[in-house]
């Protein structure tokens, strides 16, 4: 893995553990055994670094969608596959979700991050809404409210679950996740 990729991974780590304003270039460089200036070579400004982290999440989400289309037969499986994104965050030493982290510190963020962030959230909500709508039409899901409302509930519930897990423990996460799934069928 290249230094650039390692930096990107560490930035992602810190954003999801400390928030955008809770880490510095030095935090990253010291872990890699390099100097803070070397990080600036790869990502001149912190805003660009964060922007790349968002882009990476966008690609990751698109990969999930692609895999779901290819491999998953049922709509339940598609939703479950999507939720593995959150599972992975929990496993990675209790990370909160990327969107929740940015949203929470939004007013102290470089304004340039706003648009890519909104695009990512919109893409996720749009896809999940579609899956829920199709799953309901296929008779697989039976839930109250519109698919869009349900998609919003699932996203916010899972984001909150990761945050609650940081304080009360991981059992909370699994309980919330199972309820969100149970309320679908």
Partner DNA sequence: GTCTATATTCCGATAGAC
Partner DNA sequence: GTCTATCGGAATATAGAC
Residues 107-136, mask of contacts with DNA (x by CB under 7 A): ------------------------------
| DSSP string computed for 41-73 | HH-SSHHHHHHHHHHHHHHHHHHHHHHHHHH--
C-beta neighbour count of 150 within 10 angstroms? 22
8, 11, 54, 180: which one contacts a copy of itself (CB under 8 A)? Answer: 180
Instruction: Find the part of the chain contacting a copy of itself (CB under 8 A) among 4-12, 37-45, 60-68, 144-152.
Output: 144-152
CA-based nearest residue to 173, from 60, 61, 91: 91
Tell which one of 83, 103, 123, 130 touches a copy of itself (CB under 8 A).
103
Q: Select from 1, 37, 73, 167 the one that contacts a copy of itself (CB under 8 A).
A: 167
Compose the 39-78 pattern: x for residues touching DNA by CB under 7 A, - for all others.
-xxx-xxxx-------------------------------
Q: How far is the CB of 74 from DNA (least distance, A)?
A: 44
Among residues 18, 24, 105, 170, which is the contact residue for DNA, using CB under 7 A?
24
Sign of the four-CA dihedral 95, 98, 100, 101: positive
Integer CA distances (angstroms), 110 to 41, 47, 183, in order: 20, 6, 38
How much is the CA Rg of the chain, to the nearest whole Å? 18
Whether the Cβ atoms of residue 50 and residue 20 lie closer than 8 Å to each other: yes
Total binding residues toward DNA, as defined by CB under 7 A: 22
CB 78 within 8 A of CB 72: yes
Task: Select the residue interacting with DNA from 12, 15, 16, 29 (CB under 7 A).
Answer: 29
Neighbour-count burial of 137, counting CB atoms closer than 10 A to its CB (0-12 exposed, 13-18 middle, 19+ buried): exposed
- Whole-number minimum distance, CB 31 to DNA, in Å? 12
Using CB under 7 A, which of 9, 18, 38, 160 touches DNA? 38
Query: Which residues are near DNA by CB under 7 A?
Result: 2-4, 23-27, 29, 33-38, 40-42, 44-47
């Amino acid at each position: 893995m290249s230094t650039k990729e390692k930096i990107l991974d560490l930035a992602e780590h810190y954003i999801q553990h400390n928030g955008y304003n809770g880490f510095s270039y030095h935090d990253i460089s010291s872990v890699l055994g390099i100097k803070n200036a070397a990080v600036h070579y790869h990502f001149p400004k912190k805003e660009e670094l964060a922007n790349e982290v968002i882009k990476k999440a966008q690609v990751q989400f698109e990969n999930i969608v692609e895999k779901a289309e290819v491999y998953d037969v049922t709509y339940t499986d598609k939703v479950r596959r999507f939720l593995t994104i959150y599972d992975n965050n929990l496993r990675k030493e209790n990370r909160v979700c990327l969107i929740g982290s940015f949203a929470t510190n939004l007013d102290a963020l470089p304004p340039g991050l706003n648009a890519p962030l909104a695009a990512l959230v919109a893409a996720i909500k749009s896809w999940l809404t579609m899956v829920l709508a199709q799953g309901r039409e296929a008779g697989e899901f039976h839930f109250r409210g519109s698919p869009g409302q349900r998609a919003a509930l699932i996203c916010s519930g899972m984001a909150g679950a990761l945050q609650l897990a940081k304080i009360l423990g991981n059992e909370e996460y699994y309980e919330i996740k199972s309820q969100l799934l149970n309320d679908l069928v």
